[in-house]
Structure 1
Amino acid sequence: MPSPMDGPLLDDAAGRLIRPYTVSGGRTRPTAALDLLSLVMATGTAPQAHLGPEHTMALGLCHGPTSVAEISAHLRLPAVVTKVLLSDLVDCGALTARAPRSHHTPTDRSLLEAVLDGLRRRL
């Protein structure tokens, strides 16, 4: 699969040739419940509806469980646009989505301290 940096979607001089919200048809709300840590994975079912090249690129990144944030970074699209694209793929059965498994709550003090300690070591 070509890199999202290759092909007609980007131009060295002009940058992105298609504006991000054009990709999602102006939609800013996904139909599937996705957050940045949601994991999506291809089902192997080909979409029946005609979808754009960004949908194809996103689907190509989902051979294994992949986070919404990672796909957004690879596509170089805002997270909300990526969520709309991925929810289109979930709706047509090409992807499955699930919340990440976590043994910690987002406000778990020990987890937050471990993250802070790791950041301090990197700086």
Structure 2
Amino acid sequence: MSQDSNGGTRVPGSQWYDGEAGPLVRPYALTGGRTRPGLAGVHCDLIALVTLNLGAPRPGYDMGLGPEHRALIELCRTETQSVAELAAGVDLPVGVVRVLLGDLLELGCVFVSRPAPPGQLPDEVVLREVIEGLRGL
């Protein structure tokens, strides 16, 4: 046992509030205990790009979205962002952000796409030949 700032005794592990960091919320509380996104087959790695679905109705409180879901939506409102950027923007672990993005995907609020792998991008020589051909026109 140790003493708290008020001179009282404190049981180890019983402190739920850190004066400097603020209240402590465990990641599993944000995801309802889930560790994987609800949609099977959707792979949200760190470089996956998340775009807001502008055609979807604006999510409201009746959809069961928490403040973290709405924060992710607001970050995507201005521009497409990677999963890593979103995790940094909402200051949450990437695993939690993946689960929350799965919720938003199920509701149709966002799209997730993957950038083309370098092996599938056109060769620089081909691009230069196309540019030279266009200049020749």
What TM-score results when the alignment is normalised by the length of structure 1? Answer: 0.68
Query: In the aligned structure 2, how far is the partner of 1:16 from the partner of 1:70?
Result: 24
Task: Note the alpha carbon deviations across 1:35-72, whole angstroms, 9 max, x for none.
Answer: 11110011122236120000000111112210001101
Match of 1:22 among 24, 29, 51: 29
Count the aligned residue pairs.
96
Equivalent position of 2:71 in the other structure: 57
Letter in 1 for 2:67: P
| Corresponding residue SS for 1:61 | helix
2:102 is the counterpart of 1:90 = no
Of residues 42, 47, 51 in structure 1, which corresponds to 2:52? 42
Structure 2 gaps, min length 5: 1-16, 121-137
The AA in structure 1 aligned to 2:59 is P
Q: Distance in 1 between matches of 2:52 and 2:36?
A: 21
Equivalent residue for 2:88?
73
Structure 1 residue 77: Cα displacement: 1.0
Q: Which residue number corresponds to residue 13 of structure 1?
A: 20
How many Å apart are 1:14 and its aligned residue? Answer: 4.3
- Are the equivalent residues in 2 in contact too, given 1:47–1:93 (CA < 8 A)? no
> Which sits farther off after the overlay, 80-89 or 45-54?
45-54
Q: CA deviation at 1:13?
A: 2.7
Distance in 1, Cα, partners of 2:119 & 2:88? 25
Q: How far apart are residue 95 of structure 1 and its match? A: 0.3
Aligned mates of 1:42, 1:11 — CA distance in 2:
35
Counting aligned pairs with the same residue, the percent is: 42
**Structure 1 contact 11–17 (Cα < 8 Å) conserved:** yes
**What value does the CA root-mean-square deviation take over the aligned residues?**
2.2
